[in-house]
Structure 1
Amino acid sequence: MALIITDECINCDVCEPECPNEAIAPGEEIYEIDPNKCTECVGHYDTPQCVEVCPVDCIPKDPDHVETEDQLMEKYKKLTA
């Protein structure tokens, strides 16, 4: 399952450099996560790094992009191949 940044985002800029897949980028109003690049840090870290550093807790799982741990690992392998 990819993550999503909600409108509670305060644009503090701490999440973008933490993403090992470069899935986070500035959007028109708030930061956005590309679900095609987000692996919830599977393959890189034990926990999603953006969630770890977010000061307002605005990065939940995206219900529109449900993926299993195995699917996230396959995505990681494709992104890092």
Structure 2
Amino acid sequence: MRIAVDLNRCQGYAQCVFLAPGVFELHGDEALMYTPAPPADQRERVLRAAAACPVQAIVTGEPVGSEGPYVR
């Protein structure tokens, strides 16, 4: 699984940090850091975090080819 966060859209609500703390982390008030290729055991947490994002800033999917665009 790969994830991407639209940091221009992210408003720092931190729902993702609450639901998947091993993948998402806030630094300061609004600086979100995340793991673009989270471990497989975090998949359900990441999917819940993406669904809970109030501004839908998190995109999840599987890469096509080695590094290609994501399949949702």
TM-score bucket (shorter structure): 0.5 to 0.7
Structure 1 CA distance for aligned equivalents of residues 39 and 19 of structure 2:
12
Mark the runs of 5 or more structure 2 residues left unpaired by the alignment: 65-72
Aligned residue in 2 for 1:66 = 63
Q: Which has the higher strand share?
A: 2
Counting matched residue pairs gives 62
Shift of residue 41 of structure 1? 4.2
Mark the runs of 5 or more structure 1 residues left unpaired by the alignment: 68-81
Q: Percent identity?
A: 16
Change (3 A) 1:39 1:2: farther
**With structure 1 as the length reference, what TM-score do the two structures score?**
0.55
Letter in 2 for 1:51: A
Q: Give the alignment's Cα RMSD to 1 decimal.
A: 3.3
Structure 1 CA distance for aligned equivalents of residues 46 and 37 of structure 2:
18
Change (3 A) 1:39 1:4: farther
Structure 2 CA distance for aligned equivalents of residues 46 and 17 of structure 1:
10
